């Protein structure tokens, strides 16, 4: 049965080019000139397998369409098309549920690779000629090659073994470092992100993370550039992320949660002591192995902000994760301090103990607004067996004004530690 694809773009030339590239019999391709038109097509024809939509359109834009598709056809996968200067908004769309994004101009093999991966097929558009033509040319002429294979040997040193993760910003590989006979984690930033922030400046800024040495911090081992994209190397932890543990188990037993929160607070305290703010504390950046937790990606969010903030406010605004952003960070303040990390840790603690974060919404904007104006529900309403002292520790992180939160992560580690026992995975 042909895969069903809906192309949405207010540029007729791009729609025609995409239809010509994909309509080879292996796909049932429909098109729409606006988000409103796309919803009409969806209602008439049913849910497509993939919606390929422009981000910037007259009237409702691609983000609006993404939200409507997720509501009406939750099994449909949405791929955003955008210009390089809109990469920050595209990253936001990934956090709201987009399956991937392509930066214009992109070449047709890249488009086919993305669609083939999403559809679980390898024959997308394979019978068409002119496979290296570009779609959406006219910005700087560079194609996006996110689907391009990473070499087996990176920087003549790291033997890449398997891709273990892929997100809005980067791909993550388990690799072997034969020089030291160990496994490491290698993160390669997406080319679109690299174009927006500038590789050299990112690599310069991320070096601050190499100053961190603590039992609960994954320190920076190495960094460099591959094919125009920066990469950085950290120790590889055999275990699951805190996000995976939450997804599998829901809320954690109180002593176990408190022990993990103590580890994270101690890691943050060590970083804050040398002036480093994480800026993106979340379960995905907490790795679990044995009885302890390690915090990863120190310096990454700061490097992204410093490298991109002055040049590209859209990507600067996207740095961080809405569900865990402090009010001042979500409002766009560039110079947040350690108290933003305290707030994010409070959100993580709340989720560990309640099974869900205090604020939710159907869009990043709705969640950020809740951080700014809504009071979090008392933790005891969602976890009646919580000790008042532990609830006070968590809720004290979540004050809207930074000056009313707990003043430092070190004292917070002590508060969590009072309720911890050594956790057994």
Q: Which residues are catalytic?
A: 280
d(CA 305, CA 153): 30
Asked if residues 304 and 312 have their Cβ atoms less than 8 Å apart, the reply is no
End-to-end CA distance of the chain: 44
| Enclosing H/E stretch for 350 | helix 338-354
Enter the tokens of residue 325: 């952003």
d(CA 211, CA 208): 6
Asked if residues 238 and 289 have their Cβ atoms less than 8 Å apart, the reply is yes
**What are 82's strand-pairing partners?**
103
* CA-based R_g, the chain, Å: 22
Enter the tokens of residue 41: 């097509």
- For tokens 């920087």, the residue is 155
- Over the range 231-270, which residues count as b (16 or more CB within 10 Å of their CB) and which as e? bbbbbbbebebbeebbeeeebbebebbbbbbbbbbbbbbb
DSSP class of residue 67?
A: H
Enter the tokens of residue 43: 């209602």
- Dihedral over alpha carbons 230, 313, 169, 39 (to 10 degrees): -140
- For tokens 């006070």, the residue is 392
d(CA 68, CA 354): 29
| Enclosing H/E stretch for 287 | strand 286-289
d(CA 377, CA 354): 11
């Amino acid at each position: 049965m042909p895969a069903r694809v809906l192309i949405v773009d207010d540029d007729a030339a791009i729609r025609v080019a995409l239809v010509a590239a994909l309509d080879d019999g292996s796909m049932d391709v429909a098109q729409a000139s606006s988000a409103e038109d796309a919803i009409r097509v969806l209602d008439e024809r049913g849910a497509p397998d993939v919606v390929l939509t422009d981000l910037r359109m007259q009237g409702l834009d691609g983000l609006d369409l993404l939200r409507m598709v997720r509501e009406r056809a939750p099994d449909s996968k949405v791929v955003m098309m955008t210009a390089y200067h809109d990469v920050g908004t595209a990253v936001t769309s990934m956090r709201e549920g987009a399956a991937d994004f392509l930066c214009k101009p992109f070449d047709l093999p890249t488009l086919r690779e993305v669609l083939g991966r999403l559809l679980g097929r390898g024959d997308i558009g394979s019978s068409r000629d002119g496979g290296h033509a570009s779609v959406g040319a006219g910005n700087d002429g560079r194609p996006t090659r996110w689907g391009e294979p990473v070499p087996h040997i990176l920087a003549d040193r790291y033997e890449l073994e398997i891709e273990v993760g892929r997100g809005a910003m980067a791909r993550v590989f388990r690799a072997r470092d034969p020089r030291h006979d160990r496994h490491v984690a290698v993160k390669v930033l997406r080319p679109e992100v690299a174009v927006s922030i500038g590789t050299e400046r990112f690599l310069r800024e991320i070096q601050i993370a190499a100053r961190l040495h603590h039992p609960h911090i994954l320190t920076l081992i190495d960094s460099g550039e591959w094919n125009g994209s920066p990469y950085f190397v950290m120790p590889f932890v055999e275990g699951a992320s805190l996000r995976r543990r939450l997804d599998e188990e829901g809320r954690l037993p109180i002593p176990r949660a408190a022990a993990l929160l103590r580890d994270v607070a101690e890691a943050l305290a060590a970083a804050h002591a040398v002036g480093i703010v994480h800026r993106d504390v979340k379960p995905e950046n907490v790795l679990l192995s044995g009885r302890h937790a390690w915090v990863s990606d120190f310096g990454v969010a700061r490097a992204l902000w410093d490298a991109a903030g002055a040049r590209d406010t859209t990507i600067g605004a996207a740095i961080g994760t809405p569900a865990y952003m402090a009010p001042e960070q979500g409002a766009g303040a560039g110079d947040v301090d350690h108290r933003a990390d305290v707030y994010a840790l409070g959100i993580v603690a709340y989720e560990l103990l309640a099974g869900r974060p205090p604020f939710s919404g159907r869009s990043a904007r709705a969640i950020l607004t809740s951080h700014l104006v809504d009071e979090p529900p008392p933790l005891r309403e969602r976890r009646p067996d919580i000790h008042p002292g532990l609830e006070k520790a968590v809720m004290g992180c979540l004050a809207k004004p930074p000056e009313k939160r707990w003043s430092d992560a070190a004292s917070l580690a002590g508060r969590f530690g009072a309720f911890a026992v050594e956790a057994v995975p």
